[in-house]
Amino acid sequence: MLVGILLATAAMVLNSFGALLQAEGARRATRKRPAFLQPRFVAGVAVDFVAWGCAVLALRVLPVFAVQAIIGGTIAMTAVINARMIGVRLPLEIRLAVAVCLTGLVLVAASAGTEQPPIRPRGVDVVLLVSLLLLAVAVLVLRQGKHAWPLALLSGLGFGGTALSVRAAHVQTGEGLDLALLLGQPATYLVVGFWLVGMTSYTAALSRGDVGAVTAVFTVTEVLVPGMVGIWLLGDPVRPGWAWVLAVGLAMALAGTVVIAKAPPLRPPRVR
């Protein structure tokens, strides 16, 4: 379990730096040089890919909601580093919101049980496939708009879907690593589809809104929704008697995210 926590923490740190690099690349994008041709954006994607690898390994031993909650620390790191980079101080309201959100995410992670989930029930792959198709259609529609938060929400659901797909494949194959059995799982290939949805909507959100607000909506959506679905759909264990702690943690994380998402974008100080 300790190894899983360390891997998830590494994913959290890498996700934060990846988000900042991608945001800078997205801001520099033009019609002639779109985001995927910007060096900083490409570097951010590479960092995110390493972070995703760490998360995949963590999901072998920890429930979805525990791994995603640890990764949720990206909210604090991104907000603090972004403020330092542009030379401003975070408002007190935002600092309190970050603290409340992180406290909630810690409570969510602490609620994870240690026992292995049972073999997944039938129909999991169908549920994941239908969810992927609905998300893909939503991305195509919402990319026509100017608001960042709906796209950030979709990106959280997309990347959360990758975590669910990875966990579903691990649950089916058990603790051992049987490559043939893993490649034979439909969930293994659903990972790619969810990742594409998440990356497409995340890039579009960064080009429309502040990186701190986008990351807040994206990260907590990635924690809350897939985490609860993992408990319901895959049987991810909650520590006995800790259901109320999980509920309190979810409420705190959601409240903190609302405050961060509604905050105006940080601007660098004016040079006189």
Which of 264, 253, 272, 260 lies closest to 111, judged by CA?
253
266 secondary structure, DSSP code: P
Distances (CA, A) of 123 to 71, 116, 129, 186, 269: 28, 20, 10, 11, 54
Predicted local confidence at residue 130, as pLDDT = 93
Predicted local confidence at residue 244, as pLDDT = 92
Separation CA 151–CA 144 (nearest Å): 10
Which of 76, 95, 109 lies closest to 216, judged by CA?
76
State pTM to two decimals. 0.73
Predicted local confidence at residue 41, as pLDDT = 85
> What does each of the 272 residues of the chain score in pLDDT, given as a tens digit?
678 888 988 998 898 888 788 877 877 777 777 777 788 888 988 998 899 889 888 887 788 888 887 887 777 777 777 777 777 888 888 889 888 888 888 888 788 776 665 555 667 888 899 999 999 999 999 988 888 888 999 999 998 898 888 887 766 555 555 556 666 677 778 888 998 999 899 888 888 887 777 877 887 788 788 888 888 887 778 888 888 998 898 888 878 877 876 777 667 666 55
For 175, phi and psi rounded to 5 degrees?
-75, -30
